[in-house]
Amino acid sequence: MDTSGFPCLTQEWRSCRTLADILAVYSYDITAISYLIAMGILAFGAYRAFKIRRALAQPIYRSRALWLSLMVVLYVITLIADLIPYPSTTDFFTAVLITLGFNLPYLLFALVMFVSVDRTILVAIDMDLLQRNTLQWPRLRLLPYAMVLGSVALILIANPFLFLVNTPAWANIADIAFYPVYLIPLVIATFTLFLSARRSLEETMARFATRFGLAVAFFQVDFILFNYVYYFYYNAELQFLDNLIIIAATYLLYRAIVSLTPLGRVERVEAAPTTV
């Protein structure tokens, strides 16, 4: 039997019992299972988001549910696309198809995530009784928007050239520059979101903004690992850590969706004594 494709069958069993060996051999299977768990959480979250949107009357919360359901759908497509191997051919037409089918959903997810954070900050500021302008966000947001939109447009143009055998130097530079140019405004926006949540006197919005901010923070860590750290260094342990971060991010996103319902615990009211 040919054991060249199974590292643990070519050495003693004892040497294959470490966690690193297991993660290395079953890296794709573990990733696939992790993605399925994340997609299950997201599917249930999308169901809850659409149900909440139909049930709630307040446009503010209906809008949040709509944006989050869009995020969920785009990220599910992203996870599915990540499990599909890329075509082996490297002609320009195939590279364009790879960009549109595999990379575009992830870029749209990143863009929708930033827009959702931005809209939530504006809503939280508007619902603050003191109308505190957190970090001057209504005016500051123009520059982050320009950076995010510019970085997404740049990488969409450069991405097909990255799959060619002779990749132009400008495409490699655009690929490396995309991550910090996108992340800097997203980190600023996430920090502003947390501040807005702390200042909000509306309990439902404060709870939602906090959970949503945590989900976005975990997505940022995944973004850094998957798109930047792996560019220079990769091993199975990092992949497993990234899988756990993805599951945590999707669960926090689900919790943010659930928190949109402004319903608290109903306390039992004792009957007041009657008087004659």
Statement: residue 276 has pLDDT above 60:
no
Statement: residue 31 has pLDDT above 70:
yes
* Residue ranges covered by each domain of the chain: 23-258
Of 150 and 4, the structure prediction assigns the larger pLDDT to: 150
Statement: residue 273 has pLDDT above 70:
no
Q: Match 């603050």 to its residue by tokens.
A: 128
According to the model, what pLDDT value does residue 236 have? 78
Statement: residue 144 has pLDDT above 60:
yes
Topology of domain 23-258 in CATH is: Rhopdopsin 7-helix transmembrane proteins (1.20.1070)
What is the rounded average pLDDT of the residues 233-250? 87
Three-state secondary-structure class, residue 2: coil
* Least confident segment among 50-59, 74-83, 186-195: 50-59
What is the rounded average pLDDT of the residues 198-217? 87
The CA-atom distances, in angstroms, between 197 and each of 67, 68, 96, 185, 206 are: 18, 17, 41, 18, 4
d(CA 20, CA 235): 9
Give me the chain's average pLDDT, please: 82
Statement: residue 133 has pLDDT above 90:
no
Statement: residue 267 has pLDDT above 50:
no
CB 65 within 8 A of CB 56: yes
Confidence class of residue 57 from pLDDT cuts 50, 70 and 90? low
According to the model, what pLDDT value does residue 93 have? 87
CB atoms within 10 A of CB 203: 11
Number of residues that make up the chain: 276
What is the rounded average pLDDT of the residues 199-204? 76
What is the rounded average pLDDT of the residues 113-136? 82
Confidence class of residue 245 from pLDDT cuts 50, 70 and 90? very high
CB 20 within 8 A of CB 237: yes
First to last CA, the chain: 94
Quote the percentage of the chain above a pLDDT of 70: 83
Closest C-alpha to 183, from 209, 148, 146: 148
54 Cβ neighbours under 8 A, 6+ residues apart: none
What is the rounded average pLDDT of the residues 227-239? 75
Statement: residue 233 has pLDDT above 70:
yes
According to the model, what pLDDT value does residue 3 have? 36
pTM score, whole prediction: 0.82
CB atoms within 10 A of CB 32: 15
